[in-house]
Amino acid sequence: MKENYELTDQVQFVNILDKEAQQKLSPNEILQFLKRGNERFVKGKWSEKYFKHQVNATAFGQNPIAVVLSCIDSRTSPEIIFDAGLGDLISIRIAGNIVNQEILGSLELSCAKIGTKLIVVLGHSNCGAVSSAIYSLKDGNIASITNKIQKAIDGSDSNLQIKKEGNEHIFNHVVKANVLNSITEILESSIYLKEQVDAGAFKIVPAFYDTSSGEVQFFETVKVGSL
């Protein structure tokens, strides 16, 4: 996978993986691709994208390297912050990067049928869903989101300080705790994914995106019972 291609020949060479190359990559190698992609994004040194050629190359199939479960926040598009191309990532987005049965099914489909080996659960600073949970917003169907995040709030120290002072450090602590809770729920609720993670075939990684710097911080792999 190169950062630049010369598309002057009749044959088109673009950053698209075939199934064989996808399956040769290890979860750790895929994680390094994402880290390097975010480094390029932060530095403003994005790889050249030939989206029209990528459309042609992926017209009859996809071989993405990772699946990213992230928030719906408009500033956190995984393909952009990881400097990825068309067909590189499966992006699952839901407010507060929470987990439900449909999310679990999508993750299992991504890994078992499409071939991804790395799952990134991505939280972010200034998360509106977390803020709504902190201030107990439960209007309409919003409660289905904030009730899920409440566990991270309950497990955080100085809950009252969050509400009274809006402490940024504590707020981000809740965001990260919510990411870890989502990973725990994935592993506790999906026998298939837990078995694959325990066997080392797949990896689930928690991450935090800073909306002010563009940087993604990755954490150690988390397994059930390690929180």
Write out pLDDT tens, residues 7-50: 444 344 445 666 667 778 899 999 999 999 999 999 999 877 76
Q: Coil, strand, or helix at residue 69?
A: strand
Residue 118, phi-psi category: left (phi > 0), alpha (psi -120 to 50), beta (remainder)? beta
Confidence grade of residue 225 (pLDDT, cut at 50, 70, 90): very low
Share of the chain above pLDDT 70, in %: 77
The predicted pLDDT at position 63 comes to 80
Output the six-digit token pair for 84.
Answer: 């990825």
Q: What are phi and psi of 203, to 5 degrees?
A: -140, 140
Distance CA 41, CA 157 (A): 34
pLDDT of residue 54: 65
The dihedral region occupied by 80, where left means phi > 0, alpha psi between -120 and 50, and beta the remainder, is: alpha
Residues in the chain: 227
Question: What residues form DSSP beta bridges with 75?
Answer: none
pLDDT of residue 9: 42
What distance in Å separates the CA atoms of residue 167 and residue 170, rounded to the nearest whole number? 5
Q: Is it the case that residue 158 has pLDDT exceeding 90?
A: no
| Digit-coded pLDDT (tens) for 65-90 | 899 999 999 999 999 999 987 778 99
| pLDDT single digits (tens) 49-60 | 766 666 766 667
Domains and CATH numbers, the chain: 19-218 (3.40.1050.10)
Distance between CA atoms of residues 43 and 210, nearest Å: 14
pLDDT value of position 51: 66
At 168 the pLDDT is 60
Average pLDDT, the chain: 84
